[in-house]
Structure 1
């Protein structure tokens, strides 16, 4: 009797098809974000109420820390392209961040906290571009949107779990800041352990690596017009999206007690995490420009609600919409960078993107702060809505004309 050939098993789809290393990178981001956000959700209040730091000093410290991270990302991305050691750089970056965590409960003065904050952001800068490039290295092109969405979802689970744990522990420890900071140390070291033992890095062929560090003008031009087009969209988009610190300030005007301020980050992070993975899957199945327009529409709606709807209801709805817009756009931009950058310059591409958008975010936050001082929070969020609307109109025009490159 002739034996019939068995039909091949259907290929896995969705999250099951995402490589294990991407899952591991997602859990690494989650654990590190739990640790970082447990500290960062309380640190401004700790600096002002316990150490007597001015609010202006807090703002300057945060701005300097984020700018430092953006600058470092360019060089770490270039190094990962040149030597093909993305995992090693990620281990260094996450390791530095983990080593700073005990400084927050042990530090006796502002200078200790400032130093730890800057080193922590340097670690973030070192790991960011190599990690994002590593996701693209291990993932088939047809699954990149899903992979970046999954990693972003796990990352943002940590981003809202950290503040939630901080609030619970502050209640449980009777507002013992230092003890809460000690609890934050453990997940940071768990993240480093998962990275060391669970992430496998593919060996990049020597022929694909740039012979020199790819930060020369000719190499940046070699990233290609499509890549720089994506970066241009990202810059305009970032100018319309300022720091989430303004959501916390908005909470004060809505009547939320200061100790409950981390709840704003919990709501935003929850909306972000629930939308990032579905948005990533959609980006593999539909035109990515259309998904970007959806994200812009959510940002416009968030700004209008935060500007016009009073009280805690407006704060909650606006913050949730803000989180949804992040979920629909942040992983999408990573996917677009990976799609449009040459393989040999992928780390450089992510580093340059993070640098330029980091500068744009700093500029956007300065403008938002100036408007807040001049006309109140309504002016800040109205400005964001207007700029996001102009960006959406421009992208819609390009879509209609057929000249869009996405």
Structure 2
């Protein structure tokens, strides 16, 4: 497939191993350790609240390090930022595996999870920036949707790999699985080809290097319009991960039934990312942005109406489909509106907004549930889906002409 703007044929297969392999391995590494962090903290003497806080440090580390991550990527380049992030995560997981053998190991575990979150931020931003610049525009959504889908596959595989090793090595086995996966990601990332930096045109006024502040000011219109939709979408996504197990418990289901529903929802999630990316490339981003958020919103509004396994399973499958077709959407829209100069800073700000939504979604669910009921809390998160769909319906067509700048 070619285009007038990019006459050279391009195939995702040509960059598949180097571009997507590290992402799969990084996802396996994080997926392997996520289910055991709270259990490790409890074994080290932490209270339930402290154990939950240590798990939260991964997300907080990623959220708050998004802005410094853009500066790291600018300084070291995409390839070495990806390599360094995977290596740092591997070292952090070694520390987490050794924490039970040390006095006050709970502090080492907390620091390790914070570093894992920070590494995830650098890894995610660098890989997004790399694919944005390496892939032609008419393949962009497919590439970034595949990137998001491959990461989800890795996170899905990780817990099973961790569980297999835990049988022989105890909880620390999951961390060693993570270490091996992260080392593999770092080694494979070394093979990523460097991007060609175009020389400035003769007589062109390059100007000073953009800063986070200057990029935030010059692109305030995008952040305050489309960025709001991204924030709502991220809140919706993070909330649906909590809703299924909570409502299953509310209905009196056992852990096996809840896990089965969650697993089937996740499996559907992983099956539809590439067709969705292809649709975005051929028809436009709104063809996925609007339906995906509306579908997830509808499914969440239906959950309080379910009264048993079958109803919740069907709603969970609908959520999985809606979330699956939105794979890569946040990255694709960020890439579309990022400028050539200052792209790293723009994507850092973009990811900061998305992670703010990821943190805020479960907080909304918790707050409404505390004030009213769990059903009301679930419904409130469902409304976020329709709010996001409305923002995308209005904003994406209006900003479409800016997609190539």
Which whole-Å CA distance do the structure 1 matches of 2:82 and 2:249 have between them? 37
Contact 2:366 2:377 in 1 (8 A): yes
Q: Partner residue of 1:237? A: 233
Which whole-Å CA distance do the structure 2 matches of 1:259 and 1:42 have between them? 18
Deviation track 1:117-151 (CA, whole Å, cap 9, x = no partner) reads: 01111111222212101011110011001111121
Which whole-Å CA distance do the structure 2 matches of 1:116 and 1:141 have between them? 38
The reply to whether residue 341 of structure 1 matches residue 338 of structure 2 is yes
Q: Partner residue of 2:70? A: 77
State how many pairs are aligned. Answer: 386
Secondary structure at the counterpart of residue 204 of structure 1: coil
CA drift at 1:395: 4.2
Which whole-Å CA distance do the structure 1 matches of 2:394 and 2:186 have between them? 46
In the alignment, structure 2 segments of 5+ residues that lack a partner are 1-6
Q: Partner residue of 2:185? A: 191
Distance 1:179 1:79, change over 3 A: closer
Which whole-Å CA distance do the structure 1 matches of 2:192 and 2:131 have between them? 10
Contact 1:164 1:266 in 2 (8 A): no
Q: Partner residue of 1:115? A: 111
Which whole-Å CA distance do the structure 2 matches of 1:311 and 1:43 have between them? 31
The reply to whether residue 158 of structure 1 matches residue 154 of structure 2 is yes
Secondary structure at the counterpart of residue 42 of structure 1: helix
Normalising by structure 1, we get a TM-score of 0.84
Q: Partner residue of 1:55? A: 48
Q: Partner residue of 1:67? A: 60
Matches within 5 A, 1:314-333: 314-333=311-330
Deviation track 1:36-57 (CA, whole Å, cap 9, x = no partner) reads: 1111023224434x34433322
Contact 1:93 1:127 in 2 (8 A): yes
CA drift at 1:211: 3.7
Distance 1:299 1:12, change over 3 A: farther
Q: Partner residue of 1:176? A: 170
CA drift at 1:28: 1.0
Distance 1:192 1:395, change over 3 A: closer
CA drift at 1:355: 0.7
In the alignment, structure 1 segments of 5+ residues that lack a partner are 1-10
Matches within 5 A, 1:3-402: 17-18=11-12, 20-48=14-42, 50-81=43-74, 83=75, 85-108=77-100, 109-169=105-165, 172-173=167-168, 176-196=170-190, 198-205=191-198, 207=200, 211-212=208-209, 214-216=211-213, 218-223=214-219, 225-226=221-222, 229-243=225-239, 244-255=241-252, 257-258=254-255, 266-396=263-393
CA drift at 1:310: 3.1
CA RMSD across the alignment: 3.0
CA drift at 1:229: 3.3
Deviation track 1:227-253 (CA, whole Å, cap 9, x = no partner) reads: 653222212333444342444444433
Deviation track 1:299-333 (CA, whole Å, cap 9, x = no partner) reads: 11331243222343344333333332232224122
Which whole-Å CA distance do the structure 2 matches of 1:352 and 1:394 have between them? 19
Q: Partner residue of 1:3? A: none
Distance 1:117 1:158, change over 3 A: same
Which whole-Å CA distance do the structure 2 matches of 1:52 and 1:111 have between them? 11
Contact 1:129 1:348 in 2 (8 A): no
Q: Partner residue of 1:6? A: none
Contact 1:24 1:194 in 2 (8 A): yes
Which whole-Å CA distance do the structure 2 matches of 1:42 and 1:376 have between them? 29
Deviation track 1:265-312 (CA, whole Å, cap 9, x = no partner) reads: 643432222111111111101121121111012211331243222343
Which whole-Å CA distance do the structure 1 matches of 2:324 and 2:11 have between them? 21
Which whole-Å CA distance do the structure 1 matches of 2:35 and 2:67 have between them? 27
CA drift at 1:160: 0.9
